[in-house]
Amino acid sequence: MKKSLQFVIVVFLMQQYTAAQTFDTIWGNRFQEVLDSVRAANNIVGASASVLVPGEGIWTGVSGYSVPFPPPQILLTPEMRLGIGSNSKLFTAVVMAKLQEEGVLSLDDHLYQWLPAYQFVDSSITIRQLLSHQSGIFNFTDNGNFWNVVHADTGRFWTPEEVLDYLGAPYFEPGTGWRYSNTNYILAGMIIEAATGETWVQKLHDIIFDPLGMDSTFVGAYEPPNGPVAGTQWWGGGGPWYTSPITSVFSSCGPVGSIFSTSQEMVQWYHALFSGELLS
């Protein structure tokens, strides 16, 4: 998944908190100073950061721009949704783990138990190997022609099967190595749908978004934005700025990296996950 020029920064400290509590003004000002200085020093277009502190609640700060070039030049605001990129993978993995807890599937199931055969995909690979990048499957985003096609028609909606057409030979036999591959999570999304009879997007809502009240979080290209969206641009700059999810990018990346959210909801999500609210 290519990166945009905006970033979501999340820091949290584990313990109970109440969002309505008042965050210390002195610390808030210091956090804002650091955020501004780091953004400027690294030439980052815009950044949104949230910090959860026990007994004080959540501080959120923004710095820089949503769209930096006039006309119009648009400042970044706290309520703007930003693409969280490959942090989306953790959401997909948690859905899988929850489905195992519910007895719907096992992380040790093999691909052949849920999916048809695909070229360059060893059907003996397990779900666990997908989620931990031990499958050896070729990373479709390493195929240079894939990005050329995605760039050529930004309005195209991609299916997972179309993405799998860009695979090459595996890197290694399943379970014999480790290599990051976005393809693993395309297949994970397909398994979620095969196992539940519902879309992986719906299962995100059922298992994570809705129970946690994440009403500022949505899946780009698969559902309409539920609020203002920060501008995005292809990494490297020079291209146009988009103020809504780019259909070809976020449909093709799906469960790999298509979630949009705010830093406030990200800090709440991580707190809920690591405090045991979602999984045993």
Q: What is each CA distance from 139 to 96, 121, 144, in whole angstroms?
A: 20, 11, 11
Contact 76, 64 (CB under 8 A): yes
Q: How confident is the model at residue 229 (pLDDT cuts 50, 70, 90)?
A: very high
Mean pLDDT of the region 205-228: 98
The single-letter DSSP state of residue 22 is P
The verdict on whether 124 is a catalytic residue reads no
Residue 22: what pLDDT?
82
d(CA 81, CA 79) in angstroms, rounded, equals 6
Report helix angle 247-257 to 183-196, nearest 10.
80
Length, in residues, of the chain? 280
pLDDT band at 4 (very low <50, low <70, confident <90, very high): very low
32-41, 43-52, 68-77, 106-115: segment of lowest average pLDDT: 68-77
From CA 107, how far away is CA 84, in angstroms rounded?
A: 25
Residue partners of 277: CB distance under 8 A and separation at least 6: 212
- Of the candidates 127, 123, 163, which has an alpha carbon nearest to the alpha carbon of residue 142? 163
Whether the predicted pLDDT of 173 surpasses 50: yes
pLDDT, average across residues 199-215: 98
pLDDT for position 197: 98
Query: 16: which residues sit within 8 A by CB, 6+ positions away?
Result: 54
Distance CA 1, CA 71 (A): 28
Rg (CA), the chain: 19
* Pair 250, 258: CB distance under 8 Å: yes
pLDDT > 80? residue 259: yes
pTM of the model: 0.92
| Residue 2: predicted pLDDT | 40
Average pLDDT in the 24-41 region?
96
Is 70 a residue whose pLDDT tops 70? yes
Q: Alpha-carbon distance 129 to 108, whole Å?
A: 8
The per-residue DSSP string of 210-265 comes to TTTT-TT-EETTTS--SS-B--B--TTS-S--BSS--HHHHHHHHHHH-EEE-HHH
Q: What is the mean pLDDT of residues 176-194?
A: 98
Structure tokens at 276: 């045991």
- Which helix (H) or strand (E) segment holds residue 247: the answer is helix 247-257
Whether residue 18 has pLDDT greater than 50: no
Question: How large is the average pLDDT for residues 156-177?
Answer: 98
Nearest to residue 46, comparing CAs of 14, 92, 9?
Answer: 9
Please provide the DSSP assignment of 115-179 as one string.
Answer: S--BTTB-TT-BHHHHHTT-S----GGG-HHHHHHHHH-TTPPPPHHHHHTT--S-SS-TTS---
CA dihedral 184, 202, 223, 90 (to 10 degrees): -40
Using the predicted structure, report yes or no on whether residue 6 has a pLDDT greater than 60. no
Q: Is 46 helix (H, G, I), strand (E, B) or coil?
A: strand
pLDDT of residue 249: 94
Average pLDDT, the chain: 92
pLDDT in tens, 240-249: 788 889 999 9
Query: Is 47 strand, coil or helix?
Result: strand
From the list 86, 106, 132, 244, the catalytic residue is 86
How much is the pLDDT for 266? 98
In which band, very low, low, confident or very high, does the pLDDT at 56 lie, cut at 50, 70 and 90? Answer: confident
- What is the share, in percent, of the chain residues with pLDDT greater than 70? 91
What's the average model confidence in pLDDT over 80-85? 96
Q: What is the mean pLDDT of residues 157-168?
A: 98
pLDDT above 70 for 16? no
